[in-house]
Amino acid sequence: MGKLTAIAVKNAKSKDKPYKKFDGDGLFLLIQPDGKKYWRWRYTYNGKQRELSMGVYPRVSLADARKKAESARDTLYEGIDPSHKRKMDKRRQQLLVEHTFERVAREWLERKAEEWKPTNTTLVTGHLERNIFPWIGDRPIAEITPPELLQVLRMIENRGAVEVCARMRSTCGAIFRYAVACGIAERDITADLRGALKPRRRNHRPAIVDPEGFGQLLRAIDSLEGSLIVRSALQLLPHVFIRPGELRKGEWSEINWEAEQWEIPAERMKMDIPHIVPLSRQSLKILESLYPLTCQSKYIFPSLRSAKRPMSDMALTTALRRLGYEQGTHTPHGFRASARTLLDEVLRERIDLVEHQLAHNVRDALGRAYNRTSHIEARREMMQRWSDYLEELKSTPLRSND
């Protein structure tokens, strides 16, 4: 019996009972009494004869049925049951449809929450809920295309939120990579968006980095009227140059008076790594002067309204503005940039010691991250030289413009 032809398939008439017209290699056409025609492929797997549906004629032509049968035959040659593979493919497709971008993103967020600080988790979740989920949250993540994601990101960009746009592109990339690892997406499509969005603006916080101007700032801080707590915080910040939030939320229990150092726990550090700040004689003097006033609070710099809360995040910024230092000239965070620049360019301190004291991610020649006690004695000596230098800057009079 020869192979079927398209004409023979078309002209096949129904009979009182179902019958089959064979094409060869297991493929045949099943004609029902009601005239409907179904493609079937017969094969043997593990010694048992089975059949696999190849579709309904005329929606599936003879040529299409042969291609499907050939593909199934290839699967069989690989030792896989074509029927089982089809069931698994259908289930996978169902899972792909069920795995919307929002569902995958929230699963990713749950896992990241185990390593992130709560504030960071809340921030990223909020950005996704406002900027991404309303537009592609209900779309299967495997079906989202680069142009589709680009359109959503450009809506953020067009309202001037370039920084948020860049963060959302990065976050979406992490979510797509998570989906790839879970087998529910083929690839990270954000890689196709390179050059399609405005570059992120690198805005460095304003900081005074010239010695004369920095000395003038230190003298201005000493003259600050009002709260002794705020003035003490501003006086101490240049000496220790930790992040403002780490200073404001500092607790007396973290001060090791005997070792003359501030031991900040990992949960209060940006990098989640414990940090040690050697305290110079000048730093200790500031803390000792403040201790009688705030020792009843667990916070070194408690809020003016309640000793149960740390100082407000705007207290230091407001104080600097009262001294005439507007947002574009110097900020509380700017003391870190001032210290890094002057320690490097003026005092010629070892830059790895400076970076470590800034609590940056410093690694040794073997790529290992230094621990909190690395070079502690060398850093202690550097911090004392730094405080002595600040005292020198304060005592140096301004040069005349004449």
How far, CA to CA in Å, does 200 sit from each of 37, 111, 130, 158, 174? 60, 27, 20, 14, 18
Q: Give the separation between CA 383 and CA 34, rounded to whole angstroms.
A: 93
Which is the catalytic residue, given 37, 239, 336, 379?
336
Cα-to-chain-centroid distance, residue 46: 50
Which is the catalytic residue, given 10, 270, 281, 309?
270
* 336 carries an active-site annotation: yes
Give, as one character, the DSSP assignment of residue 21: E
* 99 carries an active-site annotation: no
* 275 carries an active-site annotation: no
367 φ/ψ sector (left φ>0, alpha ψ -120 to 50, else beta): left
* 360 carries an active-site annotation: yes
Which is the catalytic residue, given 37, 169, 243, 275?
243
* Count of CB atoms situated within 10 Å of the CB of 101: 26
Q: φ and ψ at 166, to 5 degrees?
A: -65, -40
Sign, Cα dihedral of 59, 61, 67, 72: positive
Q: Give the separation between CA 40 and CA 65, rounded to whole angstroms.
A: 8
Which is the catalytic residue, given 40, 85, 127, 370?
370
* 375 carries an active-site annotation: no
- Amino acid in position 364: D
* 370 carries an active-site annotation: yes
Which is the catalytic residue, given 68, 169, 333, 379?
333
* Count of CB atoms situated within 10 Å of the CB of 137: 15
Q: Give the separation between CA 320 and CA 300, rounded to whole angstroms.
A: 20
Q: Which residues are catalytic?
A: 243, 270, 333, 336, 360, 370
